[in-house]
Structure formats: C-alpha cells, structure tokens
Chains A and B, each alone.
Chain A
Amino acid sequence: MNNASLELNIVALAPAASMVIFALLVMAVDVFARGTRTQPVRAATPWVALLGVLVTAGVCVWLLGQPVTTFQGMAILDRYSLGIAFVVLVAAGLSILVSARYIPRVNAQVGEYYALILLISAGMMMMGAATDLIVVFLALETFSLGLYILAGLRRSDAMSSEAAMKYFLLGAFASGFFVYGAALVYGATGATQFEQIAAMATNPATDLTFIYPGIALLIVGFGFKVSLVPFHMWTPDVYQGAPTPVTAFMSAATKAAAFAAFYRVFLVALPSQQAVWGPALATLAVLTMTLGNLAALRQSSLKRLLAYSSISHAGYILVGLAAGSIAGVEASLFYLLSYAFMNIGAFAVVTLLEKQGEMDADGARLRGLGQRKPLLAAVMAIFMFSLAGVPPFAGFFAKFFVFAAAVQGGMSWLAAIAMLNSAIGAYYYLRVTVVMYFNAPDAETVSEVKSNWPLNVGIGVALAFTILLGVFPSLWTTLMESGVVTALALR
C-alpha cells in the first residue's frame, strides 16, 4: 500500500463533488440575497439546487462505463454506485420540487435547507461508492448529521425539534455500534478495505474470533439506518415530526444509501461468512415486514401510516440481501428506485392535505376525496396501489423481482412470508382508497387544496415513472444488469 504509485482518479468522485459545488453555490446565492433583501434572488435557491441535481445526473450518465477506483481503492465508481447515486438524485430532485413552496411556509431559512439536501445527497452517493469501512463510516455520518438538522428544521414547532432530538440521540447511539463493529472486523482481518477483508476472511490462517461480534454490530448499525425491526423505534416519530418534504426525502434516499453500503459490505467484504449473516438477515426481514405491516394497520395519521409502511418496505428490500445473490442485488436496486418515485409521490399528496401551519394530515381528511377532488384522489390511489404491489405499477415488479430472487436463492419460505405480508399491506393501502371513494365527504374532508406548480411537476414526474417502471421495468434493469456484475466481481 505504501509503495503503490499514487492512484488518484478524482473523476470517480465527480458526482459527489458536483453536488458539493452546487451546495456551496446555493449558500452563496442565499447569502448575497440576504444582504440586499432581494426576494427574487432568494427565491432562486431551489432552482439552483435543482440545477445541481440535473447537472449531477448528467455527470452520472457521462461517467457510465468502466469501473474506476480512487484513493487506493477506498471508493469506486461503477454502475452500482451510479445506480445508487441516481436513486438519491431522484429523491433529492423530487423533494426539492415538493419543498419549493412548502419550506418557506414552515421556516424562513431557505438557503441552508437546499444546501443541506445537496450535501446529504453527496454523502449518500459516497455510501454507494465506498469500498472501505472508513469511507462507509464517514459517508454514513455525513448524511446522518445533515438529516438530524433537517428533521428539526422547524424550530418553532415542538414536534419537529422533538423528532430531531430523538433521531439524533438514537442515531448517535447506533453509529457507536456501527463503528465498534467496523473496528472488530478490522481487528479480525487487519484490513478496512473490502477486498482485503474478504481475502483475509477466507485465509485459514486468520483468527476470526472477532469477526462474528463485528458482523452483529454492523447489522445493528445498518439496521438502525434502514429502520429494521427491532431498531425501528425512531422511525414513526421522526417521520411524523419532520417537515413532510424532508420525510419524503429521508424515507427514499436514506434507504437507498444505507442499503447500498449494507449490500457492498456484506456481499463484497464478508461473503465467506454468509452462513452466519444470511439466516440472521432473513430473520430480521421477517420481523421487519410483519411488525411494520401490523403496526401500520392501526395508524390514523397518514405520515405515521407511511412510516410503518416504510419499515415493512425495508423488510422486503432486505429479502433481496438475504438471498445473497446478484439477482437479489439487482432486484433491490429496482425496488429502491421504484420506492423513491411512489413513496415521495405519496408524501407529496400528503403535503396537499395538510392544513395551514400543520405538518401532518389525518386519514379522516381523505373521506370522500374521490367526490371532492377526483384528480387528487386518483393520483393518491395510484401511489397506494403501487405501494401495495398491484400491477401494472412499479411496486409490483419491485416486489416480484425481490421475491423471485429469494426463491432462486433457495429461500422459498422467506418469499412466502413476504407474499403473505404484501397481503396484509394491501389491506391498509387499499383502505386509504376505500375511504377516498366509498365514504361520504364530511366536515373533516379536505375541501380546498392549495396546489402550486413545482409540486404538481413533482407529483407528475413521480406518477409518470411509477407507471412507466411498472409497464417497462427493463428501462432500468438492462441499465443495471452488467453493473451489478462488475460491482460484485470484486470478490
């Protein structure tokens, strides 16, 4: 390592670097606008941020090609990391559109918000690119610290600051476990780089005593971030208390980032221990799906409902990792992308149902929405059908691919439990639809919807891709197929 020629392919970090540059630009625009009190300039911050997302997406497309490693193999740019970067960009772009009129309403500090979204996205992209435990930890903390701030963005609101407080205390606690796990894996193998860990772990001369507690602690750390049961306690409260566009971003992008590193650590660095972590993850997947769905059945707040639904979706995605195959990784990537579109779409509709000054909406607001606002109800129904896994929407193929990967991986029992869970899930998603179409409107029903064009564009894009990915899933899968193979060829 010491005598190797300095290998610095800075280009491998271009997607994250582009996000950071635009974050600085957003802050600069905000600062100059603040001094002169020119509202038109200030209002430009979301558009600068959105431009950053689009430019970064362009950079990602331009970089599709051979994998490039950087900093002595601490990070890699391959199709897998670009795929994760793309999911994060989708989540960031849609959330910026949803936020454009929402955030000024709940908090005056506009610039920081968009700068933080971009910086968090940069950290999340590094999660997908990291091939070293040190980089994984750094990226994990980069995006987590930003999310703690975003959850408490509305300081005047008791619920928002409480959400930040809970998220922060439990998040810091969990990162302690994560870093201890990383330290023990390093102790067992003497390496932090995934390939070297894998090489040492298969070497019969290595004493692997410490690797097992290390794996367990890493699962706790990652499990917290993707909200697996029993590390999910923070999820409903944080999702409910945080401003709704932040919740939308958090639910989709955090899952993508944390699962990205989760997959790479376990499949590239620790494949030889799969006999140990495979069954453990399968058990966690069963617990997560079941408890998430059962708890969602009795929620009245829409944000809490979506929070528990997001816990159960984490369980479905984990099925792909428990399968431990390339098909499982591909399926999970498709799941993460579909989830970003349909879930942010659903949260965007929730922002429309909120009353002035509120950051949550009760399910009762939906009663008879089909009569009062037919278009909005139809859009919400499509997102709910997709989340439930009804064809021909994206959510159907997402579930189909993951379950098929589990069956191929010899885990038919897991696929069967996951399918039973989809049935439980369908109950509460379809109940939302039933309330919208078969209940009569009453005093609680939303009668006035203050829509705005950025939000409409956001919902439109989410809706278009929810349907498009459901009809043509090959749009994404052909792009990713070869990529996942190279990513895992590392082992």
Chain B
Amino acid sequence: MVPTNYYLILSAMIFTIGAVGVLSRRNALIIFMCVEMMLNSVNLTLIAFSRQWDNLNGQAFVFIVMAVAAAEVAVGLAILIAHTHHSKSTNIDDVNVMKW
C-alpha cells in the first residue's frame, strides 16, 4: 500500500503549482484552470485521508467539491464572457477600470 504521505506531498505540490499559477498567469481562463487544479489537489488529499481513516466523510466531501467546482465553472465562464464584451480580451491586466 502506498503510504498516505506520498499522496499528501503530491497533492501539496499540485496545490502549490495551482496557487502560483493563479498569482503569476495573466489569462483569466488559465487562472480559472489553476483554481480547478487547486480544488482537485484538495480532492486527492481528501481521498488519501479518507483511506487512512477508513471512513467515508472524505469521499462524500469530494463529491461536494466536484459539484461546487462544476457550478463555479458555469458562473465563472458567464462572468468572463460578460467581461470580455467590455474589454475584448481575457487578459486580467485589462481588468483595470477601477484601481486595485
């Protein structure tokens, strides 16, 4: 059996890659994908813990996270399209009508 720590290290790495991607990429779609990657790395963590503790809470949590991620995509893409109508680009450097 693969030790739980291996899964945890892998998912922490994926989470970090996702977080760094959100902070460094400029394309809103790619930022979006990085967020999805973060959520999926958490799913891996949850599954690993679920196996370690031998209970189903973690797996139930994963289903909820996946459902939420799907809803987030639906809302997020709609917002992105609405915004692209104004700025004609998906670069978040163009999200600058109001000062940050």
A interface residues with partner B (beta carbon < 8 Å)? 1, 133-134, 137-138, 141, 145, 148-149, 152, 155, 158-159, 161-166, 168-169, 172-173, 175-176, 179-180, 182-184, 186-187, 190-192, 233, 236-237, 240-241
CB pair A155 B92 closer than 8 Å: no
A241 to chain B, nearest CB (A): 6
Chain B residues touching A, majority SS: helix
Interchain CB contact under 8 A, A190 and B53: yes
Check B19–A176 contact: CB distance below 8 A.
Answer: yes
Contact assessment for B86 and A158 in the assembled complex, using a CB-CB cutoff below 8 Å: yes
Chain B residues bordering chain A, tally (CB within 8 A): 45
B64 pairs with A134, CB closer than 8 A: yes
CA distance in complex: A237, B39 (Å): 26
A137 and B62 alpha carbons, distance in the complex (Å): 11
Contact between B72 and A162, CB atoms less than 8 A apart = no
Chain B, residue nearest A234 (CB): B100
A409 to B16, CA, bound (A): 37
Contacts of A184 in B (CB 8 A): 45
- Tell me the nearest residue of chain A to B48, going by C-beta: A187
Extra contacts besides A138-B68, A166-B95, A183-B49 (4): CB < 8 Å = A134-B57, A184-B45, A187-B8, A237-B99
* Contacting pair A141 B71 (CB below 8 A): yes
Chain A residues positioned under 8 Å from B46 (CB to CB): 183, 186
Q: Does B65 contact A149, Cβ atoms closer than 8 Å?
A: no
B60 contacts A149, CB within 8 Å?
A: no
Q: Find out whether the CB atom of B49 lies under 8 angstroms from the CB atom of A176.
A: no
B-side contacts of A172, CB under 8 Å: 32, 35, 72, 76
5 inter-chain pairs at a CB distance below 8 angstroms, sorted by A residue, are A164-B79, A168-B75, A172-B35, A186-B58, A187-B52
Q: Contact partner of A192 among B31, B57, B65, B98, CB < 8 A?
A: B57
- In the bound complex, what is the Cα–Cα distance between A149 and B77 (angstroms)? 11
Name which residue of chain B comes closest to A192, CB basis.
B57
Nearest opposing residue in chain A for B53, CB measure? A190
- A187 to B22, Cβ gap below 8 A? no
Q: Measured between alpha carbons, how far is A90 from B44 in the docked complex, in Å?
A: 40
List, in ascending order, chain A residues with CB within 8 A of B31's CB.
169
Question: Do A180 and B86 form a contact, CB below 8 Å, given A149-B75, A165-B80?
Answer: no
Q: Which residues of B contact A237 (CB under 8 A)?
A: 98-100
Kindly report which residue of chain B lies nearest to residue A132, judged by CB atoms.
B57
Residues of B within 8 A of A162 (CB): 83, 86, 95, 97-98
Q: Which residues of B contact A161 (CB under 8 A)?
A: 79, 82-83, 85-86
- Bound complex: CA of A200 vs CA of B8, how far in Å? 21
Contacts of A169 in B (CB 8 A): 22, 28, 31-32, 35, 76, 92
Q: Which residue of A lies closest to B65 (CB)?
A: A179
